[in-house]
Structure 1
């Protein structure tokens, strides 16, 4: 069996609007100047406490995390699936892999379990992923813990797994875990920052072929 592990924010769904809005609420509540949008998006993928400490090293991180979570949960409850829409081609790609008898699907995300569960429910993706690795139970990316747990839970060898993500944290996590890494350019980190990736793709149409090519090389 093979395992395809997806990042979520910036890879499967475009959640930047709610991320920026929730971060704005956290900074306004603490009366701190809001970082530029590009800076906020640069920390997407890190666990929230780590990301907040990087953006506001002198702030009350605990309070800001709580405010962020409350704002994000409100937006999610208000907007439903529109809060984090799937990127074009994402659902078709997930369905393609779900229909293959030799592939299992997983998620490794900086989201909380509650956040991921809500997103999966909103998009009707229940039963799609055999392993869901979230920030609640692991060190922040790029530590390899999430991928190591996913491999163990799925019963798949590192040579038969691939991580797909939009940030350097995803790529570095994959390398640290000894699996292939595919970077995507439609997310939140510039392609130039995905240097640890084994390959980079510009759309979902190119993704499955790139993954098959990487797996083929791994077994030559």
Structure 2
């Protein structure tokens, strides 16, 4: 059996702190259609879902036309704000994220992947801004999959990497990430610094600092071998 292992990362709330950008864009989207904006806490709760699903939860009474306008206005506002500030500045790494990515990437037995509610355009811009080209063997985005927590992203990442699910771990900050991992049959590590409270995560392990992540990955995957 191959000893290769796969570590799949969520992006927003796990690797980068894009909370301000997302909240401002969603507020602008609701304002653009004349609807009251949801609270910051409600907006944080939908981070990680595909945009259509997120808007449906935030505005359940909106008409189909209003919902479509919210989605498009959000995309436009997000692009405008990101362009003005730069992708790296508007979505900075959490402390220790880059160092741990570099550490994991240097291990010849570890492959890295991404599973995110971002669009392909959004993820590509972020990867370019942070100099992460070549880091991820698989980049799964909302454009091509059902919304989390459906396990499609993980199944595709595992297939593309050629690594067994028993040697795969999902790292994320939301219940959607953890439920997706459980549905796919892979290990689930939750992070405490993201957009869902740590006590709400149905994770195999919770880490409170990026420095704790490599050891947590080792221990979980060794236990599953």
Shorter-chain TM-score bucket reads over 0.9
Return the match for 2:49 from 41, 46, 49: 46
Match of residue 21, structure 1, among 20, 24, 35: 24
| Structure 1 unaligned spans of 5+ | none
User: 1:30 and 1:22 mapped to 2: Cα distance?
Assistant: 13
2:84 aligned with 1:78: yes
Point out 4+ residue stretches in structure 1 off by more than 6 angstroms: none
Q: Residue in 1 aligned with 2:163?
A: 156
- d(CA) in 2 for partners of 1:70, 1:143: 27
Coordinate RMSD, CA, aligned: 0.6
C-alpha distance in 2, partners of 1:174/1:27? 32
Pairing 1:218–2:224 present: yes
Other-structure match for 2:182: 175
CA distance in structure 2 between the aligned counterparts of 1:96 and 1:146, rounded to whole angstroms: 24
The residue number in structure 1 matching 2:203 is: 197
SS in 2 for 1:183: strand
Q: State which of 62, 72, 86 in structure 2 corresponds to 1:66.
A: 72
How many Å apart are 1:58 and its aligned residue? 2.2
Size of the aligned set, in residue pairs, is 218
Please give the per-residue CA displacement for 1:112-163, whole angstroms capped at 9, x wherever unaligned.
Answer: 0000000000001011100000000000000000000000000010000000
Given candidates 42, 56, 59, the residue that maps to 1:56 is 59
CA distance in 1, matches of 2:115, 2:105: 17
TM-score (norm 2): 0.96
Partners of 1:192 and 1:183 in 2: CA distance: 10
Q: Give the Å deviation of 1:216.
A: 1.0
**Residues in 1 aligned to 2:50 and 2:203: alpha-carbon distance in whole angstroms:** 21
Shift of 1:99: 0.3
Give me the whole-angstrom Cα distance separating, in 2, the residues matched to 1:134 and 1:61. 21
In 2, Cα distance between the equivalents of 1:192 and 1:31?
35
CA distance in 1, matches of 2:197, 2:36: 24
Equivalent-residue separation in structure 1 for 2:81 and 2:11 (angstroms): 17
Segments of 5+ residues of structure 2 without an aligned counterpart are none
2:213 is equivalent to residue 207 of structure 1: yes
Please give the TM-score of this superposition, normalised by the length of structure 1: 0.98
In the alignment, the residues of structure 2 paired with residue 132 and residue 214 of structure 1 have an alpha-carbon distance, to the nearest angstrom, of 23
